[in-house]
Amino acid sequence: MKFSLRIGVLVSSFFSSLLWSLNLLLFLYTLLVYYLLYQVPIGHWMAGVLMISLPVAWAFNLFFIVFWLLVRPWRALLPVLTMLIGIPFWRRTLAYSQPGNNSEKRPTLQVMSYNVMGFNKYDLVDTQRPDEANNMIDWVLKEPSDVKCFQEFYNDNSSVVFKTIRRLEKAGYPYYAILHPPEREGPGKFFGVAVFSRYPIVKRGDEVFDNFNGLVWADIKTGPDTIRVISIHLQSMGIRVGGMLNEKESSRVRKNTQGVLRQLRQGMTLRRNQIVRVEEYYRNSPHPVIICGDFNDTPYSYTYGKLRRILRNAFEDAGRGFGFSYNKAPGFLRIDNQFYNARFLEPLNYTTYRDAKFSDHYPIMAQYAIKPREISKDRTPRTHVEFDF
C-alpha cells in the first residue's frame, strides 16, 4: 500500500514538474511575442506566425492559471504575471469604449467599409435567386454613411441587379473612385476596390497589388476640410477553415495542412510588401487620412502593427465588444479595420453590422468628428504618432 502510494506521489511530482517546465517555456514564448508585437522589428513570415499566435498563448496561460490555482496556487502567479504584462495588447482584442461626445457640434464624417463578395454574384449564377443580391445591394444603398468603401465591389451595366454604380449615384453618392476603369473588365463591368462619397472627390488614385487586391484613395472635400480616405484590400490567403474541418481522410488533412502553411507564408510576405505601399500613401498625403478595408490579417499581425505605430485604430478607441468581422469559420476574427489620423480626427462611435449577414464579411462603420481648423491648421503629413501600446 505504501509502495503504491509512493509511486503515485512520484508520478504526480513528475507531471507537476513537467507542467511547470512547460509553463516556464510558455512564459518566455509569450514574452517573445509581446516583444515582436511591440517593436514590429522584422517582417519575416515566421515572426508573423509567432505574432498571430498570441491568442493561443493567452489561452494556455489561462489554462495554467486555473490548473495551478487548483494544484499549487503560488505557481499561478507566473501565468497571471504573463497576462498582466500583456495588458497593452488586450485592447486589440476587446473594446469597451463609450460613444464620443460631440457637444461642440464639430462637423462629422461617417465612413463604412464592406467586403461585399461581389454582391453574391456567383451565388446568383448558381442559384438564379436575384433576391439575395438585391437584398444586399438595398442594404448598402440605405446604410446612411457619408463615404462607403468597398472591397470586391461588382458592377455590370448590362444587368438590372448589378448596375450598382448607377444605383449608388441615384441613392446620393455621385462621386466615386474605383481601382480599375470599367472597360478593363469589359464594357460596363467592374470588380475590385471602390470608394463612393456624398461629398465631392477633388483628387483620386489607385494601385493594383494582385488581381483584384489593391487600394483606392480619394481626397474628399467636406466643407472647409479635405480628408483622404484610402480603401484597401490586402492579399487574401485563400484558406478555408470550414473545408479543413470537414476533411476526414488523413492524407487529405496532411495535404491541406501543407497547403495552409504555404498560403500563410505567401500571404504574409505579400501583405508585408503591400502595407509598405499603403504607408507611403499616408505619409505623402497633405490631408488627414482614414485607411479602411479588408486587411486579411488579425490584430496581432505585422501589417496591423505597422499601421498602428503611425495611426490609431477606430475599433480600439470607439468600439465595443470583440468586433469580429468575418462571417465564416472560424468566425472569431477581426480582419476588417479602420485606422485614422488622431491629430485631426476623433472617432465618436464604431459599429460592426453583425445583422448584415449577406457576405463572408460584416460591414464596419465609424463616425469621426473633424477637429477645428485652429487646432489642426498644420496640414503637413506626419511620419510618426506617439501613443500607448
Measure the CA–CA gap between 13 and 72, rounded to whole angstroms.
12
Predicted confidence band of residue 389 (pLDDT cuts 50, 70, 90): low
Residue 154 has pLDDT above 80, yes or no: yes
Three-class secondary structure of residue 38 per DSSP: helix
CA distance 188 to 159: 10
> Quick one: pLDDT at residue 16?
83
Phi-psi region of 385 (alpha: psi -120 to 50; beta: other; left: phi over 0): beta
Mean pLDDT of 136-152: 96
Query: 97 pLDDT exceeds 90?
Result: no
User: Is residue 212 a contact partner of residue 235, using CB atoms and an 8 Å limit?
Assistant: no
**382 band by pLDDT with thresholds 50, 70 and 90:** very low
- Is residue 234 over pLDDT 60? yes
Closest CA to 354 of 340, 364, 342, 367: 364
How far apart are alpha carbons 34 and 40 in whole angstroms? 10
Is the pLDDT at 27 greater than 60? The verdict is yes
pLDDT higher than 90, residue 127? no
Give the mean pLDDT of the chain: 86
pLDDT tens-digit readout, 253-269: 455 555 667 788 888 88
What is the average pLDDT across 232-237? 89
What DSSP string describes 42-84? ---HHHHHHHHTHHHHHHHHHHHHHHHHHH-GGGGHHHHHHHH
Predicted confidence (pLDDT) at residue 367 exceeds the cutoff of 70: yes
Give the pLDDT of residue 238: 58
Residue (of 95, 220, 148) closest to 364 by Cα position: 148
* Residues contacting 280, CB < 8 A, separation 6+: none
Question: pTM of this prediction?
Answer: 0.86
208-227 average pLDDT score:
92
Give the position of cell 498625403.
285
pLDDT at 219: 98
Q: How far apart are CA 218 and CA 330, in angstroms?
A: 33
Which residue bears the cell 476623433? 346
Under a CB-based contact definition with an 8 Å cutoff, are residues 372 and 145 in contact? no
pLDDT of residue 130: 63
Q: What is the pLDDT of residues 36-89, one digit of tens each?
A: 998 877 777 788 889 999 999 999 999 999 999 999 999 999 999 999 999 999
Identify residue 238 by its one-letter amino acid code.
Answer: G
Mean pLDDT to the nearest integer, 134-141: 94
- Whether the per-residue pLDDT at 150 is higher than 70: the answer is yes
* Biggest CA-to-CA distance, the chain: 88
Higher pLDDT, 11 or 50: 50
Predicted local distance difference test score (pLDDT) of residue 307: 94
Per-residue pLDDT tens digits for 318-336:
999 999 999 988 888 999 9
pLDDT tens per residue, range 288-308: 999 999 999 999 999 999 999
Residue with cell 439575395: 132
pLDDT-based confidence at 274, cuts 50/70/90?
very high
The pLDDT of residue 164 is: 94
